């Protein structure tokens, strides 16, 4: 990225032009996350984009989850579920991302409190992930996971109403880069877990009826409950785009595998004479800066900087 940035700097007529150009630059393939943050001017950020900050917040969440699990004893495996809710996709540079996060948090809290007389106990997070529909379209033919994510994101794009030449039209808002506002939570279904799970699924699907918008599943059977909860706590506090790259599927991607898929689709660039290669699947400098701004605003809605937290006491 430094080489390209120097070229732009020579061409730039003003500092304002330079900063504007820099927003659109992509990092070189293989650039370390800490270096990306430094090059974006936020190397010392205290948001979840910083791995050390994410680690501390993940550990705090794990302690809360583990403490509750130990109170449940042997019934934890039967009662605990991992919930994912995909709320909406929003304009990365618009004003609706934080409002959507607030709405999602309220929806989850309201639904969990309606399931039983005392409500359900839960701990989870609101996560903001930058997604790129154009890149997903290029590689979506490779696996069901990629095609499924593209279809879900397309279905979550808002529909704009308007008039053109006196005719009422409805069209999808077609910003290639958007923010997926979603929730991950660990839910304790309570002693009456079978009946409560049925009620919970009905309430969730009533609010979020689109395909794949809601996933409610058991913890992994081949791990201890503590190991499950530790992995979940780390995952849900990773800061959306874990390595500041677009994820082609839901969850964590195998970087080398995804890189091969992109190159096969013709969107990779060939390196010649030892030159670095632009990371086609990496967020731009501007997108990293904006994601950091959004997380900072979200985190600062609580004095303990856990404004992303979604918690019910049951």
Q: For the chain, what are the domain ranges?
A: 46-313
Percent of the chain with pLDDT over 90: 60
State the pLDDT confidence band at 19, using cuts at 50, 70 and 90: low
162 backbone dihedrals φ, ψ, rounded to 5°:
-170, 180
The per-residue pLDDT for range 279-291, each reduced to its tens digit, is: 878 899 999 999 9
Number of C-beta neighbours around residue 94 at 10 A = 13
* CB-based burial label for 172 (10 Å; 0-12, 13-18, 19+): exposed
DSSP code for 182: E
Higher pLDDT: 314 or 43? It is 43
Check: CB of residue 28 under 8 Å from CB of residue 278.
yes
Higher pLDDT: 207 or 25? It is 207
Q: Look over the chain and give the mean of its residue pLDDT values, rounded to a whole number.
A: 83
H-type helices in 43-132, by residue range?
A: 51-72, 76-79, 97-115
Residue whose C-alpha is closest to residue 232's, from 111, 66, 53, 68: 66
Residue 109 has pLDDT above 60, yes or no: yes
The per-residue pLDDT for range 218-277, each reduced to its tens digit, is: 998 888 999 999 999 999 999 999 899 988 777 654 344 434 444 344 444 444 444 457
Query: What's the 3-state SS for 111-156?
Result: HHHHHCCCCCEEEEEEEEEEEEHHHHHHHCCCCHHHHHHHHHHHHH
The per-residue pLDDT for range 117-129, each reduced to its tens digit, is: 889 999 999 999 9
Q: CB neighbours of 170 closer than 8 A, spacing ≥ 6?
A: 159, 160, 161
State the pLDDT confidence band at 147, using cuts at 50, 70 and 90: confident
């Amino acid at each position: 990225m430094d080489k390209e940035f120097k070229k732009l700097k020579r061409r730039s007529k003003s500092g304002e032009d330079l900063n504007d150009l820099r927003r659109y630059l992509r990092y070189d393939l293989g650039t370390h996350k800490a270096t990306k943050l430094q090059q974006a001017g936020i190397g010392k950020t205290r948001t979840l984009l910083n791995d050390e900050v994410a680690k501390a917040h993940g550990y705090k969440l794990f302690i809360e989850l583990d403490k509750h699990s130990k109170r449940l004893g042997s019934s934890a495996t039967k009662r605990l579920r991992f919930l994912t809710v995909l709320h909406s996709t929003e304009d990365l540079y618009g004003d609706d991302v934080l409002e959507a996060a607030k709405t999602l948090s309220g929806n989850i809290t309201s639904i969990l409190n309606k399931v039983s007389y005392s409500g359900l106990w839960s701990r989870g997070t609101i996560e903001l992930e930058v997604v790129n529909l154009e890149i997903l379209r290029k590689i979506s033919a490779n696996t069901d996971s990629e095609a499924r994510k593209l279809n879900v994101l397309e279905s979550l794009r808002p529909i704009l109403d308007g008039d053109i030449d006196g005719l009422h039209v409805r069209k999808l808002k077609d910003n290639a880069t958007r923010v997926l506002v979603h929730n991950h939570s660990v839910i304790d279904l309570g002693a009456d877990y079978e009946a409560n799970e049925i009620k919970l699924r009905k309430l969730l699907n009533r609010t979020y009826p689109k395909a794949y918008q809601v996933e409610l599943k058991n913890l992994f059977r081949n791990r201890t409950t503590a190991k499950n909860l530790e992995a979940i706590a780390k995952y849900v506090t990773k800061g959306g785009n874990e390595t500041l790259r677009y994820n082609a599927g839901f969850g964590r991607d195998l970087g080398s595998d995804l890189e091969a898929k992109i190159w096969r689709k013709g969107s990779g660039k060939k390196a010649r004479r030892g030159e670095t290669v632009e990371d086609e699947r990496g967020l731009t400098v501007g997108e990293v800066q904006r994601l950091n701004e959004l997380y900072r605003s979200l985190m600062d809605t609580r004095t303990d900087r856990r404004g992303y937290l979604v918690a019910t006491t049951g």
